[in-house]
Amino acid sequence: MGFISLQFFLLAALTLILYYLFPKNAQWLVTMLMSIAFYASYGVERLPFLLASSLIAYLAARKMDRLQRETEDKAEAKKKCRPVLYLALAGLIGLLLYAKIGTWVMQSVGAALKIGGAETAKAIVALGVSYYTFSLISYIADVYWRRDTAETNYLHLLAFTIYFPKILQGPISRHKELAPQMFEKHRFDYRQFCFGVQRMLWGYFKKLVIADRLAIFVNTVFGNVEWETGAHLLVAAVFGAVQSYCDFSGCMDIALGFSECLGLKLAENFDHPFFSRSAAEFWRRWHITLGTWLKDYVYMPLVISPQLIGLSKRMRTRFGVRAGKAVMSVLPLLAVWLLTGFWHGSGLDYITWGLYWGVIIILSNVFAPEIKKLAAALRINTEAGSWTLFQMARTSVLFMVGRLLTAFGDLSKAWLAFRKFFTEFHVDGFFDGSLYTRGLDRPNFLLGIVCVFVLWAVSMLQRNGSVRERLAGSNIVFRWAAYYILFFAIIIFGIYGPGYNAASFIYMQF
């Protein structure tokens, strides 16, 4: 039961009805039960893994909470809590690794030990395991650092962990932000409900009309990279970037929009990433909750770790201040980006992808003074709008290149695609009609381009404030026309139904 299914619509409608019909103090129970039903629809056998993870986190947090209350000295309490934290982390990460590499380990070990049937052994992959594991890690870490309070009711933690709008693709919610909202009493708010529905519709538009349409072209071209020209690969790369954005952010809009209908505010995961002027800024605007999670629970702990501080001091003494500073940023960034790569996939292509971004960001950090000097020497007006546009285009190109590394599931094919940009471009591929033979016919291809422009126009409007607020303030004819157009655009132009095999959300696999 994905977000694009009749069952989901029925479940969502039922949740909304029961949520507002039930006594206010039991609303969280409705979301929990509905979430369990949603989760179980993917297979009941996955549920024990989520229950186990949430139980580990619950017990660890309770234990640490008790230790913290029993021990007056904070440093002493922290020391006592540390084994509990590490044990819980080991448990959570162990379950995550089982899902991520369990199949590979079982098959490899089985084959090495010549265990019969090992080649078909398969690990049960709990749905949304990366998302809820990261959420739970942040929960126990925050309890350890006394930034959050431990739940006294396991069901409360379960309700937070399994909350269905976020379980498939995030956002990676923080317990201290979402849980208090879940246990508040929510009255039906018509305006809030309408805003939520509008956001869901916009999400469906991005997913069904744009992402899934472009995906047809992208998959066709990338699936035949050996036979494609550089021109077609370039179009597929551009479409692929937009597809990734619309797919992921569309799903987020649906999740956030539905939560808004319930009066819950989930963390934003996107902030117009293609308007970013640098790689670092891009990743502050793309999958925001993953970025902030890595910053808070990987980067910062590394930066303030005594080992790194010691190393930095030694570097400063031996090679100067700049070297000492560089170490403080290079090593944590490298760790963060390797982890980001691994989070997205365990293959070499994803590790390379992580390193690619890590190196770009590290180099731009380390050589920031030189870059600034160079711009000044070339007399580039870095305040001009054209320079901003150039920076945005450059960032987008970096994203496209990065995506190509993982688009084929095979680095040699990615290398082939890069070569073709320079050796077999064939510019006539743009004009000879062959673009319309790659899964999308002419009307669908052109519609895809029109929709990308619509996306751009709406994004521009969003930069100047809430489009929904402005729409709500406009006259009734314009407002209703906008709603109808959006709704019927999804109905008519969406890629769904038996005529198509609607692609599942890209980020669901994580």
For the CB of residue 17, give the shortest distance to another protein in the complex, in Å: 16
Contacts with another protein by CB under 8 A lie at 6, 441, 443-444, 447, 476, 480, 483-484, 487-488, 491-500
- Cβ–Cβ under 8 Å, residues 214 and 290: no
* Nearer CB in complex with another protein: 377/477: 477
Report the distance separating Cα 78 and Cα 106, nearest Å. Answer: 37
* Nearer CB in complex with another protein: 23/498: 498
* C-alpha torsion angle, residues 281, 177, 142, 343 (rounded to 10): -50
* Nearer CB in complex with another protein: 57/495: 495
Element (H, E) at 219: helix 212-223
For the CB of residue 486, give the shortest distance to another protein in the complex, in Å: 11
* Nearer CB in complex with another protein: 42/436: 436
Length of the chain (residues): 510
- Cβ–Cβ under 8 Å, residues 217 and 448: yes
For the CB of residue 39, give the shortest distance to another protein in the complex, in Å: 23
* Nearer CB in complex with another protein: 171/494: 494
Report the distance separating Cα 63 and Cα 57, nearest Å. Answer: 10
* C-alpha torsion angle, residues 460, 466, 468, 473 (rounded to 10): -110
* Nearer CB in complex with another protein: 421/483: 483
For the CB of residue 496, give the shortest distance to another protein in the complex, in Å: 7
* Nearer CB in complex with another protein: 20/487: 487
Q: How far is CA 102 from CA 45, 86, 116, in A?
A: 16, 21, 17
What is the CA angle 170-176-182, rounded to 5?
75
For 60-93, b/e burial (b = at least 16 CB within 10 A) is bbbbbbebbeeeeeeeebbebbeebbeebbebbe
For the record, the structure tokens of 493 come out as 């132009």
* Nearer CB in complex with another protein: 377/492: 492
* Nearer CB in complex with another protein: 137/490: 490
Strand residues in 127-279 grouped as ranges (E):
none
Q: Is the peptide bond before 171 cis (omega within 30 degrees of 0)?
A: yes
For the record, the structure tokens of 72 come out as 């007056």
For the CB of residue 493, give the shortest distance to another protein in the complex, in Å: 7
Rg (CA), the chain: 25
For the CB of residue 43, give the shortest distance to another protein in the complex, in Å: 19
Q: How many CB atoms lie within 10 A of CB 366?
A: 17
For the CB of residue 194, give the shortest distance to another protein in the complex, in Å: 9
For the CB of residue 11, give the shortest distance to another protein in the complex, in Å: 15
For the CB of residue 283, give the shortest distance to another protein in the complex, in Å: 36
* Nearer CB in complex with another protein: 339/447: 447
Please name the residue that has the structure tokens 């265990």: 115
For 456-486, b/e burial (b = at least 16 CB within 10 A) is eeeeeeeeeeebbeebeeeeeeeeeeeeeeb
For the CB of residue 201, give the shortest distance to another protein in the complex, in Å: 12
Burial class (CB in 10 A: 0-12, 13-18, 19+), 323: middle
Report the distance separating Cα 279 and Cα 206, nearest Å. Answer: 24
For the CB of residue 497, give the shortest distance to another protein in the complex, in Å: 4
